[in-house]
Amino acid sequence: MALDANRETINALNVFPVPDGDTGTNMLLSLRSVIEQLPDGTSESANEVAKIVARSALLGARGNSGLILAQYFKGLSEAIGEDTELTGEHFAKSIRHASDSAYKALPNPVEGTMLTVYRECAEISETAAAQNPDLESVMSIVAVEALKSVQRTPQLLPILAEAEVVDSGGFGFAVMIDGALRSLKGEDPIGRKIPVPMPNDSKFTGAIKTDFVNASEEIEWGYCTVFAIESENIDINKLRDQIAKIGRSAVVDGADGIAKVHVHMEDPGLALTMGLDYGQLSNIEIANMDTQASDWAADRREDTSSEDTNLLPVAVVAVAVGAGLKDLIISTGMGATSVLEGGDTMNPSVSDLLAAVEAAPSENVILLPNNKNIIPAALEVPTLTNKDVRVIQTLSIQTGVAALLEFNNTHDINENQKAMNSVLSEIGDGRVCIATRDANVYGNKIKKGMAFATFNEEIIAVGSEPFSVLTELIEAKGEDAEIITIYTGDSIEKDGIESTDKLLRNKFGDLEIEVIYGGQPHYDFLVAVE
Amino acid sequence: MSIAVVTDSTSDLPVNIASHHNISVVPLNVHIQDDTFRDGIDISAAEMYRKLPDQKVIPTTSAPSVGTFLEFYERLAETHDEIISIHLSSKLSLTHGSAVNAAKEMQSKGTLVKVVDTAQASMALGWTAVEVAELVAKGGTIDEAVIRAENAAGRASFVGMVDTLEYLVRGGRIGKAKGFVGSLLKFRPILTLIEGEVHPVSRVRNRGKGIAELKTMIGDAAPLSKLAVLYTTEEDLAREIAISVTDYAPDGEPIVAQLGPVVGNYLGPGALGFGLIRSASSA
- At which of B119, B154, B189 does a domain end? B154
Structural domain count of chain A: 4
C-alpha to C-alpha distance for A203 and B92, rounded to whole angstroms: 74
Q: Using CA coordinates, name the residue in chain B closest to A482.
A: B206
Q: Is the pLDDT of residue B265 over 70?
A: yes
Does B206 contact A335 at a Cβ distance shorter than 8 Å?
no
C-alpha to C-alpha distance for A193 and A196, rounded to whole angstroms: 9
Residues A87 and A206 in one domain: yes
- Kindly report the nearest CA distance between residue B35 and chain A, in angstroms: 37
Total beta-carbon pairs less than 8 A apart between chain A and chain B: 56
C-alpha to C-alpha distance for A391 and A389, rounded to whole angstroms: 7
- Kindly report the nearest CA distance between residue B184 and chain A, in angstroms: 6
Q: Is the pLDDT of residue B141 over 70?
A: yes
Report the CATH number at residue A227: 3.30.70.120
Q: Cis omega before residue A382 (within 30°)?
A: no
Chain B residues near residue A516 by CB distance under 8 angstroms: 184-185
Chain A residues near residue B179 by CB distance under 8 angstroms: 333-336, 409
Q: pLDDT value at position A58?
A: 66
- At which of A159, A182, A216 does a domain end? A216
Q: A 393-422 residues with CB below 8 A of B?
A: 401, 405-406, 408-410, 419
CA A62 from centroid of its chain's CA atoms: 4
The residues, any chain, with a CB within 8 Å of residue A91's CB and separated by 6 or more, are A76, A79, A125, A129, A135, A138, A139, A142
Residues A317 and A340 in one domain: yes
Q: Is the pLDDT of residue B263 over 60?
A: yes
Does B206 contact A327 at a Cβ distance shorter than 8 Å?
no
Q: pLDDT value at position B224?
A: 95
C-alpha to C-alpha distance for A473 and A429, rounded to whole angstroms: 11
Report the CATH number at residue B276: 3.30.1180.10
Q: pLDDT value at position A86?
A: 80
Residues B263 and B225 in one domain: yes
Residues B140 and B166 in one domain: no
Residues B149 and B10 in one domain: yes
Residues B18 and B119 in one domain: yes
Residues B171 and B269 in one domain: yes
Residues B184 and B106 in one domain: no
Report the CATH number at residue B91: 3.40.50.10170
Q: pLDDT value at position A106?
A: 57
* Cβ–Cβ contact B206 with A under 8 A: yes
Does B205 contact A530 at a Cβ distance shorter than 8 Å?
yes
Chain A residues near residue B202 by CB distance under 8 angstroms: 405-406, 408, 419
Q: pLDDT value at position A289?
A: 54
Residues A440 and A417 in one domain: no
- Kindly report the nearest CA distance between residue B210 and chain A, in angstroms: 11
Residues A329 and A260 in one domain: no
Q: pLDDT value at position A281?
A: 78
Residues A163 and A191 in one domain: yes
Structural domain count of chain B: 2
Q: pLDDT value at position B160?
A: 96
Residues A380 and A442 in one domain: no
Chain B residues near residue A331 by CB distance under 8 angstroms: 182-185
Containing structural domain, residue A262: 223-289
Task: Burial-class residue A40 by CB neighbours within 10 Å (0-12, 13-18, 19+).
Answer: exposed
- Kindly report the nearest CA distance between residue A313 and chain B, in angstroms: 13
Q: pLDDT value at position A40?
A: 65
- At which of A407, A426, A445 does a domain end? A426
Residues B183 and B136 in one domain: no
Residues B12 and B105 in one domain: yes
Residues A420 and A434 in one domain: no
Q: pLDDT value at position A205?
A: 61
Q: pLDDT value at position A239?
A: 81
C-alpha to C-alpha distance for A306 and A327, rounded to whole angstroms: 14
Task: Find out whether A167 and A153 touch, Cβ atoms under 8 Å.
Answer: yes
- Kindly report the nearest CA distance between residue B205 and chain A, in angstroms: 7
The amino acid sitting at A410 is: T
Residues B129 and B215 in one domain: no
Report the CATH number at residue A151: 1.25.40.340
Residues A38 and A180 in one domain: yes
Residues A86 and A114 in one domain: yes
* Cβ–Cβ contact A329 with B under 8 A: no
Residues A276 and A321 in one domain: no
- At which of B154, B185, B213 does a domain end? B154
Q: Are strands B3-8 and B23-26 parallel, antiparallel or unpaired?
A: parallel
Query: Within 13 Å, how many C-alpha atoms sit on residue A525's CB side?
Result: 30
Q: Kindly give the confidence (pLDDT) of every residue in chain A, 530 residues in length, as a single tens digit, with 9 standing for 90 and above.
A: 666 777 777 766 764 433 445 667 777 777 777 777 777 655 567 777 777 777 777 666 665 677 677 778 878 888 887 777 788 888 888 888 888 877 775 556 678 888 899 999 999 899 988 888 888 889 889 988 999 999 998 888 877 777 678 888 888 888 888 888 888 888 876 667 788 888 877 777 654 333 333 333 333 346 667 777 777 777 877 887 888 787 765 666 655 566 667 676 777 777 888 888 888 776 676 666 544 333 333 333 334 433 444 588 999 999 999 999 999 999 888 889 999 998 877 889 888 999 999 999 999 999 999 999 999 999 999 988 999 999 999 999 999 999 999 999 889 999 999 999 999 999 999 999 998 888 877 778 888 899 999 999 899 999 999 999 999 999 999 888 889 999 999 988 877 888 888 889 888 988 889 999 999 998 999 999 99
Residues A418 and A434 in one domain: no
Option in B180, B184, B206 nearest A512 (CB) = B206
- Kindly report the nearest CA distance between residue A24 and chain B, in angstroms: 37
Does A332 contact B186 at a Cβ distance shorter than 8 Å?
no
What's the DSSP call for residue B67?
Answer: H
CA distances A313 to A319, A362, A411, B56, B197, Å, are: 20, 6, 8, 40, 18
* Cβ–Cβ contact A328 with B under 8 A: yes
The 10 Å CB-count burial string (b at 16+, else e) for A470-502 is: bbbbbeebbeebbbbbbbbbbbbeeebbeebbe
Option in A327, A419, A530 nearest B184 (CB) = A327
Does A332 contact B184 at a Cβ distance shorter than 8 Å?
yes
Q: Is the pLDDT of residue B74 over 70?
A: yes
The mean pLDDT of chain B is 92
Closest CA to A121 of A71, A50, A189: A71
Three-state SS at A43? coil
Higher pLDDT, A43 or B187: B187
- Kindly report the nearest CA distance between residue B94 and chain A, in angstroms: 25
Q: Using CA coordinates, name the residue in chain A closest to B209.
A: A482
Residues A229 and A200 in one domain: no
Does B185 contact A482 at a Cβ distance shorter than 8 Å?
no
Residues B219 and B192 in one domain: yes
Does A328 contact B184 at a Cβ distance shorter than 8 Å?
yes
Does A482 contact B183 at a Cβ distance shorter than 8 Å?
no
The residues, any chain, with a CB within 8 Å of residue B31's CB and separated by 6 or more, are B37, B59, B60, B61, B62
Higher pLDDT, A79 or B267: B267
Q: What are phi and psi of A508, to 5 degrees?
A: -120, 60
Q: What pLDDT digit, counting tens, does each position of B96-139 carry?
A: 999 999 999 999 999 999 999 999 999 999 999 999 999 999 99
Closest CA to B170 of B51, B57, B18, B30: B57
Neighbours of B192 (CB within 10 A): 19
Residues B130 and B204 in one domain: no
- What's the pLDDT band for B5 if we cut at 50, 70, 90? very high
Does B185 contact A405 at a Cβ distance shorter than 8 Å?
yes
Q: Are strands A523-529 and A428-434 parallel, antiparallel or unpaired?
A: antiparallel
C-alpha to C-alpha distance for A247 and A262, rounded to whole angstroms: 9
Q: Using CA coordinates, name the residue in chain B closest to A483.
A: B206
Task: Find out whether A431 and A527 touch, Cβ atoms under 8 Å.
Answer: yes
Containing structural domain, residue B270: 156-282
Residues B277 and B216 in one domain: yes
CA A502 from centroid of its chain's CA atoms: 37
